[in-house]
Amino acid sequence: MSENGTPAHGTDSGVNEKAASRLSGMVVLVINTALMLAATGLLVWGFIGFGDDIPPVILVLTLVYICLIGPFLYKGLKVLKPNEAHVLVLFGNYYGTLNGPGFFFVNPLVKSGGAISLKMQTLDNKEQKINDLQGNPIIIGIVVIWRVVNTAKAAFSVDNYEEFLSIQSDAALRNTVNRYPYDVPGEADGEKSLRGSSQEIAAQLRNELQTKVDVAGLRIEEARITQLAYAPEIAAAMLQRQQAAAVIDARQIIVDGAVGMVEMALAKLSDKNIIQLDEERKAAMVSNLLVVLCSNKDTQPVVNSGSIY
């Protein structure tokens, strides 16, 4: 097994989970306890002299049951909480998985590999600095909601499935971020960006991460981006660029609207025959209207008391 938790060469990553053979723990507990008490009574009866007719071999077997067999059977009793599983090993081989809440009896010779939680769990990976498609360093963090679905793979295919998930989350995040820019003005031509298409990026991240952790018997329920920002060294410059782009977009909208208003004004003056303007006067009127409509400052009106010609 490698240090980062990935399977070493030759490791069987296709271990299939199977249910371990089990009996009701309460039934075995009652029967074994009753036999222990009966054996103790029989042994006491024999040693105090009232059981001279009891064969010695029976007393020896009773003593063996009290000292060895009875306590040994108690070792097979297991109590499981809800959403908990135990991976059992018998003589170095996978015996089966014991899951489901309750009180059970299993082969006392098996060894438990420890309790594995089947609950939904959250991995809140630390923020990372990664370059986007355009080479800009960004700070990004994700949260991953996951759970164990194959206890055999989780126990035997990787050394530490939680550490394995954390490392694979970092790798999947880096691969995903490298394929997209931080931002695309207006999502031009349907191009996706980390900021504007966070839901789609998160879904793609989840799918890529799922393919990486299948070997560990994990299921990724959800992956979400929790932090996204430019790195501090370029944040100020990128903010200025965004502000400039916003100003340009706003100006474009203003100009488009102003041209439409001027066109409408000229058409109405012509249709209603209010005034006849030659081309030079139309050009002057258009210029004045555009200045008024497009200016970012209040305009000062000039009153012409004479003829416009």
Predicted TM-score (pTM) of this structure: 0.68
Which pLDDT does position 293 carry in this prediction? 60
| Whether the Cβ atoms of residue 147 and residue 218 lie closer than 8 Å to each other | yes
- What string of pLDDT tens digits covers the 309 residues of the chain? 444 444 443 344 457 889 999 999 999 999 999 999 998 888 887 777 655 667 778 888 888 999 999 999 999 999 999 999 999 999 989 999 999 899 999 999 999 888 899 999 999 878 888 888 888 888 899 999 999 999 999 999 999 999 999 999 999 999 999 998 888 765 555 678 888 888 889 999 999 999 999 999 999 999 998 888 888 776 566 666 666 666 666 667 777 777 777 777 777 766 766 666 666 666 766 666 666 666 655 555 554 555 555
Which pLDDT does position 1 carry in this prediction? 41
| Whether the Cβ atoms of residue 182 and residue 193 lie closer than 8 Å to each other | yes
| Whether the Cβ atoms of residue 54 and residue 45 lie closer than 8 Å to each other | yes
Q: Is the dihedral of CA 106, 110, 115, 120 positive or negative?
A: negative
Name the segment(s) of the chain with CATH classification 3.30.479.30: 121-230
Domain at 121-230, CATH from 3.40.50.300, 3.20.20.70, 3.30.479.30, 3.30.70.260: 3.30.479.30
